[in-house]
Structure 1
């Protein structure tokens, strides 16, 4: 169950990903709720059914029901925000910055978990989707909340490995 199923499904050419799954999530220097919430939010963002199902199953033993919902909520809200804010930035016309988003984002104000943990999960999802504006914003919020660069770095490492596992399993499925 969980990470072991994902590792067993990965092909030999992804041996580094297998090794990194354990060293980034299971032995993270983050608190277990932070690490597993990050992994779950990233699994939602990475969109691979095996990765999502297995990480969700294992995360449930490390997260309470509110944290599970908050991690999924972080991925959901960032799926919208990353597209919106990245697009406004990439257009390159500063006048778009003054136009209000008019998009509901209530979960950000009441995530059901420690606000800083939710910010970490949002940052990690933003790393997967490549929204520089969101990465800068969430990193600043985390640092202001007392997170160290090392803690932010741990979230980024988890995002990278979960995404790599999802990409690899998607490729294997497509080639099968």
Structure 2
């Protein structure tokens, strides 16, 4: 499977999503590791099987096993952190923000790839999961380390398009069942 296989799964009404997948797969503003790690982390964050399989197959042609693992780890840890920190951000009682999280997050300190690549992937996943607090935190780290706003935008665009493709394929699968 590949991005082209994924594009073939999309119905005609999702032509814009298909074209966006193609153009983002050819994006050059990100390194291949940044780009395909973002695709992979985004697919795993959403978890729609045909999308995960297609993107994982394409990413495996570019990413090292360590980078594949780190992209999946970004989806996993953000799956937890985005819920926790979004809740703290939304709650009126700010006392909770003064308490230690008491959640293991060791992968953040040692993700197995360049820290800024992991931050970029975490930003895309945080956008998918809708956590403004995490988006601000990860984007702030990226900017402190000189990552251009156009690179952050590219990661957000990948997350958005992978999300749209996943929702479409999930809906079409539901209709076919």
TM over 0.5: yes
TM-score normalized with structure 1 length: 0.98
Supply the distance in 2 between the matched residues of 1:150 and 1:59 (Cα, whole angstroms).
22
- 1:44 is displaced (CA, Å) by 0.2
Question: 2:12 maps to what in 1?
Answer: 12
Alpha-carbon spacing, 1:50–1:28, altered in 2? closer, same or farther (3 Å): farther
Could you list the per-position Cα deviations for residues 28-80 of structure 1 after superposition, in whole angstroms to 9, with x for gaps in the alignment?
A: 42001100000000000111100001100110111000000000000000000
Question: 1:169 maps to what in 2?
Answer: 169
User: How do residues 109-120 of structure 1 correspond to structure 2 at under 5 angstroms?
Assistant: 109-120=109-120
Residues 28 and 154, structure 1, Cα contact 8 Å, conserved in 2: no
Question: 2:69 maps to what in 1?
Answer: 69
Question: 2:151 maps to what in 1?
Answer: 151
* Superposition RMSD in Å: 0.7
Is residue 87 from structure 1 mapped to residue 82 from structure 2 by the alignment? no
Please list every run of 5 or more consecutive structure 1 residues that lacks an aligned counterpart in the other structure.
none
Please list every run of 5 or more consecutive structure 2 residues that lacks an aligned counterpart in the other structure.
none
Q: Which contiguous aligned blocks of 4+ residues in structure 1 show a shift greater than 3 angstroms?
A: none
Question: 1:102 maps to what in 2?
Answer: 102
TM-score normalized with structure 2 length: 0.98
Supply the distance in 2 between the matched residues of 1:16 and 1:28 (Cα, whole angstroms).
20
- 1:25 is displaced (CA, Å) by 2.5
Question: 1:127 maps to what in 2?
Answer: 127
- 1:27 is displaced (CA, Å) by 2.5
